[in-house]
Amino acid sequence: MQSLIKTCALPVVLLGLTACGGGGGGGSKPAPTPVPSSTPASSVAPSSTPASSVAPSSTPASSLAASSIAPASSADASSSAASSSVAGTESTQTAAVYANYSVAAIDNCGIGISAANKTFAIFADYDSGVQNQSLSSLNVSGWNHATNGSTTEWTNLKLAGSNYNFNANAKVNSSCNSVDTLDMLLVKKIADWDRQHSNGFERNILAYGYKFGDIENLVFDVKINSAKTSIPSVASIKTTYANYVNAATVDALEDGKVNIGITLGDSTNLNGAIIFQLDQTALSDQWVRVTIPMSKLSFYQEINYNRTPKTLADLSNVVIKRLLVVGETKSGAVLRGNINPWSTSVPETFKEMDLSFKKIELQLK
């Protein structure tokens, strides 16, 4: 083989890991965290609960368009210097630094790349790596509810249900020097919390023994593929649900941007989670690196959908079982909690976010 944006620290209610139940959008019932379609949400431990349970601890960075948000300070932005490297090899431009993450454009994607010291790759492809690598061999798995046989539930998806499948093999990506990428068209419901995380993927890393306290940063090299990405505007959501919720409820829920929910969970009910946002109008079809300090995640314990806030110190010696990735709204919620009484006649709207990941990495202390 040759040789973002925004992030919401989800404070109290975070992505747990239980697949698609849960409450949403300012409603009375918190949403659980995402879990494979084969595991009933009701039987899933918090470590596999739906990410929609995520609620920002304050004003999520993701509540603003990436292109319009100024870095935390000009000093912060300038202090995050572009990576230095030999000319012609992969490097990053100067990163824009936000409240809970930084985002940097990647130059010379996939050229001369190798694993850095003190890192663990959830997924990555380096020089001399095997192409079209098996994801199942890495204990990466996924689910897709859109093929559950219900024709009415998924009527408003843009494509046939199979287009949202998790692929068991990575694919060679011509946009990044033919490195392998993990590609998935992530879907998040706007209205109903049932199967709100319509699909997603996760990796089980329990055997490696990494603890929450071992991690300095989470790093995601990601590209938004514009051709199949379809996200309703805030204005269109307000129109669709004008008879159900007010405009302020929609504004609190969504920005019309790409949102990616990340959860780290143990084998029981302890989790750390965050949602980051990428402005597809500014960032589509280009590779960017999103770096999230571990300290910016929100930590919590979840029992029967009830979350108790925790700190990173509380989880410092807890071994991580898995990392989960789902599509999200800005707030991590849905509208159902604000629609009373709820009816199956309420129309469903979907966020469809076609993403390629070339690296998902834990940077260790």
Contact between residue 85 and residue 114 where contact means Cβ atoms under 8 Å apart: no
What local confidence, expressed as pLDDT, does residue 86 receive? 61
The average pLDDT across 248-268 equals 97
249, 331 contact by CB (below 8 A): no
Our count of domains for the chain comes to 1
Kindly give, in sequence order, each residue whose CB lies less than 8 Å from that of residue 344, ignoring residues fewer than 6 positions away: none
Which of helix, strand or coil describes residue 148? coil
Mean pLDDT of the chain: 82
Is 69 a residue whose pLDDT tops 50? Answer: no
- How many percent of the chain have pLDDT more than 70? 76
Residue type present at position 19: A
175 part of a folded domain: yes
Q: pLDDT per residue over 149-191, tens digit each?
A: 998 999 999 999 999 999 999 999 999 999 999 999 999 999 9
Does residue 364 surpass a pLDDT of 80? yes
pLDDT one-digit tens code per residue, 260-306: 999 999 999 999 999 999 999 999 999 999 999 999 999 999 999 89
Answer whether residue 108 is part of any domain.
yes
Res 305: pLDDT: 85
| Residue 1 in domain | no
In b/e form, how buried is each residue of 158-190, taking b as 16+ CB within 10 angstroms?
eeebebbebeeebeebebbbebbbbbbbbbbbb
> What's the pLDDT tens digit per position in 217-236?
999 999 999 999 999 999 99
Domain containing 48 equals 6-364
The encoded tokens of residue 67 equal 């292109």
* pLDDT tens, position by position, 74-86: 333 333 335 545 6
Q: What is the pLDDT of residue 8?
A: 44
pLDDT reading at 61 higher than 80: no
Q: How many CB atoms lie within 10 A of CB 88?
A: 11
